[in-house]
Amino acid sequence: MKAFLLSLLLLVCTAPLLAQELTVAAAADLRPALDEINAKFKAESGIELHISYGSSGNFFQQLQNGAPFDVFLSANVDYPKKLAQAGLVASGTYYEFARGSIVLIVPYDSKIDLTEGLHALLTPAVKKIAIANPSHAPYGQAAVAAIKSMGIYDWVAPHLVMGENISEAASFVLSGAADVGIVAKSLALAPAAAKRAKFVDIAAKNYPPLLQAMVVMKSAKDQSAAARFETFMRSEDTKKILQQFGFDLP
């Protein structure tokens, strides 16, 4: 009887701990920063984040169809706002946490002259230019806008190769599958890219702002854990990490 009561007591005590986890859908540009944020958040709260990275547009479609994510971190504000308008978001959880930016990136040993900026895309040696698919990736939309702002889109378009998300587009450049890419600055600053590629900033005036926002889904299984994560995303520690990876604060 005592053994049974002890087992029951242990089960009751550990049940809340087992419940402390969140499923997070996050834009691919956030991986370098969010990996660090995740580690700090877990150390402070004990809450486990299970993060899936991908394109914001694809996650938006999945969440509309009931995908079981508790929190959504988008590379733009449009998708979270549309989810909120559809009544799928927990009240008061919309938060704009960062502003992203794009860069022109090439392999470290490339002879492409980055000082020419986007006009370097017209270099005869450039055969493949990696961007994220603009049909569902905000960073791909920003890349197209930047190219069009220079009046060179018609020349560049035949050379575009599109990744499913911005992380895949960056991998095309790092692997040598593309000569050059337009990717998130956060990925260019990631440790995996630092020794394998070089980059130059693309002027922010050449593309719409990449303002990023998060929401907690109304269907989140543990609203208190989700609220705690949202609070952590507003913390000074999180802001410092985001800035470390090239994000501006809105």
Over the stretch 47-72, which tens digit does the pLDDT of each residue have? Answer: 999 999 999 999 999 999 999 999 99
* Rounded CA separation 238/231 (Å): 10
Between 223-233 and 31-45, two packed helices, what is the crossing angle to 10 degrees? 120
Domain boundaries, the chain: 20-99+209-244, 101-206
Beta carbons of 98 and 29 less than 8 angstroms apart = no
pLDDT over threshold 90, residue 133: yes
Q: What is the dihedral of CA 244, 167, 123, 202, to 10 degrees?
A: -40
pLDDT over threshold 70, residue 13: no
* Rounded CA separation 192/187 (Å): 8
What average pLDDT does the chain have? 93
- In this chain, the answer to whether the domains covering 20-99+209-244 and 101-206 adopt an identical fold is yes
Look at the pTM and tell me if it is higher than 0.85. yes
Arch. (CATH architecture) of 20-99+209-244: 3-Layer(aba) Sandwich (3.40)
**Residue among 111, 72, 106, 85 nearest 229 (CA):** 72
Task: Tell me the sheet residues that pair with 51.
Answer: 24
Which backbone phi and psi does 46 adopt, to 5 degrees? 80, 5
* Rounded CA separation 247/98 (Å): 6
**Residue among 117, 108, 111, 131 nearest 182 (CA):** 131
Task: Tell me the sheet residues that pair with 198.
Answer: 106
Over the stretch 174-225, which tens digit does the pLDDT of each residue have? Answer: 999 999 999 999 999 999 898 899 999 999 999 999 999 999 999 999 999 9
Alpha carbons within 13 angstroms on the beta-carbon side of residue 172 total 23
Run of H or E residues at 39: helix 31-45
Taking the domain 101-206, which CATH number applies? 3.40.190.10
Which residue has tokens 């890349």? 143
